């Protein structure tokens, strides 16, 4: 059984488009995260939700909007995609802060 799943795994789109990445966890965790891994493999946190409440919001362009319809789901919507948004986006979840379980990642390519 997949613990943290993301859809899609790959996403190729044109500049200026709007796209969403979905994340679901079946671990019963209260907290979910979005991390971005750029082309140099550097990983950085973007957002975190705890029980559907936004608790971590790093310096991210406001074209990025997370939404948590329930505590098992955390989606990432990106408006007006730019070339620099090309990256791998990882979702993660945790019940204990120090045990974060990562999803398989979504590779976003903006052309």
Q: How many residues bind other proteins (CB under 8 A)?
A: 29
Applying CB under 8 A, which of residues 28, 41, 62, 69 lies at the interface with other proteins?
41
Q: Does residue 40 belong to the site contacting other proteins (CB under 8 A)?
A: yes
What is the per-residue binding string for other proteins in 49-88, x denoting contact by CB under 8 A? -x----xx-------------------------------x
- Which listed range, 11-19, 35-43, 61-69, 71-79, lies at the site for other proteins (CB under 8 A)? 35-43
Pattern 82-111, binding to other proteins, x per CB under 8 A?
------x-x-x-xxxxxxx-x-xx-x----
Q: Which residues of 40-73 are buried (b: 16+ CB within 10 A; e: fewer)?
A: eeeeeebbbbbeeeeeeeeebeeebebebeebbb
């Amino acid at each position: 059984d997949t613990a943290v799943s993301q859809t899609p795994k790959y996403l190729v789109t044109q500049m200026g488009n709007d796209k969403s990445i979905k994340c679901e966890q079946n671990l019963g965790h209260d907290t979910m995260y979005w991390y971005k891994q750029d082309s140099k493999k550097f990983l950085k946190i973007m957002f975190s939700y705890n029980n559907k409440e936004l608790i971590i919001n790093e310096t991210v362009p406001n074209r990025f909007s997370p939404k948590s319809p329930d505590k098992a789901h955390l989606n990432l919507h990106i408006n007006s995609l730019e070339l620099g948004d090309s990256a791998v986006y990882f979702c993660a979840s945790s019940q204990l802060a120090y045990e974060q379980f990562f999803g398989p990642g979504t590779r976003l390519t903006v052309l």
